[in-house]
């Protein structure tokens, strides 16, 4: 039999089983492609339809089901076979999310506002009906649509979600920073960084003569040590560098360009600050000292160190002030120090 016939026979609940093309039912449940996907299920006189469309063919099966049960009370939810109140509440919360989505569409709508108003009211009725049928005890949501009130509620909801997203992103960045430190200390074998992120370096565990990148590439420490002075000279010159027949080879790789203090070699983009960090760690780079006689010179020296990314110790000739800038120095702390010096009286630095 064809799939529409299968769905309509199942909707009558008069026959125990029926089968079409990748579409069949047994008792109160109808399946798409196999037992792994319950497309819909009867709960007394109520039908729960799966909200996860899964594939194009399953989406067509769900459309056939909706048509076959259009005369019955039905809900589209993620769980068509909830076994207890918490699972029913999860379905109810899904309907509430759809209400929030429709509220946003309603607020943004211009020419088709009435369409979204009708859809919003229908979804609110669904939520009220679901909590009533399955005795969840939730308060009924008013069906009256107050444009201004919904606008304010939606704006507040969006603000809360943005705040939560920022908090989540900050936590993710903090976690990634901690994972990076662990990787650099050889406490982690691998590190997963965003695709667009710049790469990092470490001495490979068990192989002190090999440098490893966060992308998994390796090259000899000896080659890197030889190339370092040339890379540093290019960076200090302030000019961009392209290979154009000139070759800086490191292991199996060669540097394609050095632009804005970013060294590019194939898919790798490594900030010069990261190279400096490892050079300091290995004792290849010891940094320089700058002596400043007044407030203006102190600020200029700190700013130059930040701009070049070069490890620098700034000392004030007339006081005990001393600040060492390394490429891994926290930028926020450096900015705080600069602001603190700016606010301090000039006579302190004379």
pLDDT, one tens digit per residue, over 271-318 is 888 888 888 888 887 777 777 878 888 888 888 888 777 778 888 877
- What is the pLDDT, as a whole number, of residue 244? 78
pLDDT at 224 over 70: yes
CA distances (Å), origin 82, targets 46, 79, 118, 268: 13, 6, 28, 49
- What is the pLDDT, as a whole number, of residue 39? 94
d(Cα 142, Cα 125) in Å, to the nearest integer?
9
Buried b (16+ CB within 10 A) or exposed e, 318-338: eeeeebebbbebeeeebeebb
CA atoms within 13 A on the CB side of 86: 0
Q: Is the pTM of this model over 0.95?
A: no
Q: Give residues with Cβ within 8 angstroms of 246, minimum separation 6.
A: none
Percent of the chain exceeding pLDDT 90 equals: 41
Q: Between 331-343 and 295-308, two packed helices, what is the crossing angle to 10 degrees?
A: 160
Estimate to the nearest angstrom the gap between the alpha carbon of 213 and the chain centroid: 22
Q: Are strands 29-32 and 23-26 parallel, antiparallel or unpaired?
A: antiparallel
Query: Would you place residue 91 in the very low, low, confident or very high pLDDT band (cuts 50, 70, 90)?
Result: very high
The per-residue pLDDT of the chain, averaged, comes to: 87
DSSP line for 31-91: EESSTT-EEEEEETTEEEEES---SHHHHHHHHHHHHHTTTSEEEEES-SS--SHHHHHHH
Query: Would you place residue 147 in the very low, low, confident or very high pLDDT band (cuts 50, 70, 90)?
Result: confident
- What is the pLDDT, as a whole number, of residue 196? 66
d(Cα 115, Cα 77) in Å, to the nearest integer?
22
d(Cα 262, Cα 321) in Å, to the nearest integer?
32
**SS3 call for 18:** strand
d(Cα 101, Cα 115) in Å, to the nearest integer?
14
pLDDT, one tens digit per residue, over 229-262 is 898 888 878 788 988 777 888 999 899 999 988 9
Mean pLDDT of 314-342: 81
Mean pLDDT of 131-142: 91
Token reading at 183: 């990787």
Mean pLDDT of 23-34: 94
The more confident residue out of 211 and 55 is: 211
d(Cα 40, Cα 54) in Å, to the nearest integer?
13
CA atoms within 13 A on the CB side of 319: 15
- What is the pLDDT, as a whole number, of residue 133? 93
The more confident residue out of 212 and 198 is: 212
Query: Would you place residue 80 in the very low, low, confident or very high pLDDT band (cuts 50, 70, 90)?
Result: very high
pLDDT at 2 over 70: yes
Q: Give residues with Cβ within 8 angstroms of 244, minimum separation 6.
A: none
- What is the pLDDT, as a whole number, of residue 349? 77
d(Cα 57, Cα 35) in Å, to the nearest integer?
15
Token reading at 207: 């192989």
Estimate to the nearest angstrom the gap between the alpha carbon of 13 and the chain centroid: 46
217: region left, alpha or beta (phi > 0 left; psi from -120 to 50 alpha): beta
Mean pLDDT of 75-102: 92
- What is the pLDDT, as a whole number, of residue 43? 93
CB atoms within 10 A of CB 152: 12
Angle at 55 between CA 53 and CA 59, to 5 degrees: 50
């Amino acid at each position: 039999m064809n799939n529409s016939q299968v769905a309509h026979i199942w909707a009558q609940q008069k026959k125990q089983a029926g089968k079409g093309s990748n579409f069949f039912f047994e008792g109160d449940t109808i399946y798409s492609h196999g037992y792994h996907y319950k497309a819909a299920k009867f709960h007394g006189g109520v039908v729960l339809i799966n909200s996860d469309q899964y594939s194009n063919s399953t989406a067509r099966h769900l459309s056939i089901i909706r048509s076959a049960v259009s005369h019955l009370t039905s809900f589209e939810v993620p769980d068509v076979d909830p076994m207890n109140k918490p699972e029913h509440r999860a379905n109810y919360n899904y309907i509430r999310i759809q209400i929030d989505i429709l509220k946003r569409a309603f607020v943004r709508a211009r020419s088709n506002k009435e369409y979204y108003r009708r859809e919003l009211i229908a979804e609110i009725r669904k939520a009220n009906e679901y909590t009533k049928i399955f005795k969840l005890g939730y308060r009924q949501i008013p069906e009256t649509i107050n444009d201004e009130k919904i606008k304010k509620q939606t704006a507040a909801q969006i603000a809360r979600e943005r705040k939560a997203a920022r908090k989540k992103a900050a936590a993710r960045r903090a976690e990634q920073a901690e994972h990076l430190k662990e990787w650099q200390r050889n406490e982690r074998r691998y590190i997963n960084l965003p695709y667009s992120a710049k790469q990092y370096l470490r001495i490979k565990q068990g192989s002190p003569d090999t440098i490893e990148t966060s992308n998994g590439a390796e090259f000899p420490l000896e080659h890197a040590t030889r190339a370092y002075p040339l890379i540093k000279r290019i960076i200090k010159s302030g000019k961009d560098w392209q290979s154009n027949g000139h070759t800086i080879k490191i292991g199996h790789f060669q540097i394609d360009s050095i632009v804005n203090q970013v060294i590019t070699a194939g898919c790798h983009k490594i900030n010069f600050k990261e190279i400096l960090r490892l050079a300091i760690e290995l004792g290849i780079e010891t940094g320089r000292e700058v002596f400043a006689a007044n407030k203006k010179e102190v600020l200029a020296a700190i700013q130059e160190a930040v701009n070049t990314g070069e490890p620098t110790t700034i000392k004030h000739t007339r006081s005990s002030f001393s600040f060492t800038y390394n490429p891994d120095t926290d930028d926020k702390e450096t900015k705080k120090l600069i602001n603190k010096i700016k606010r301090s009286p000039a006579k302190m630095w004379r």
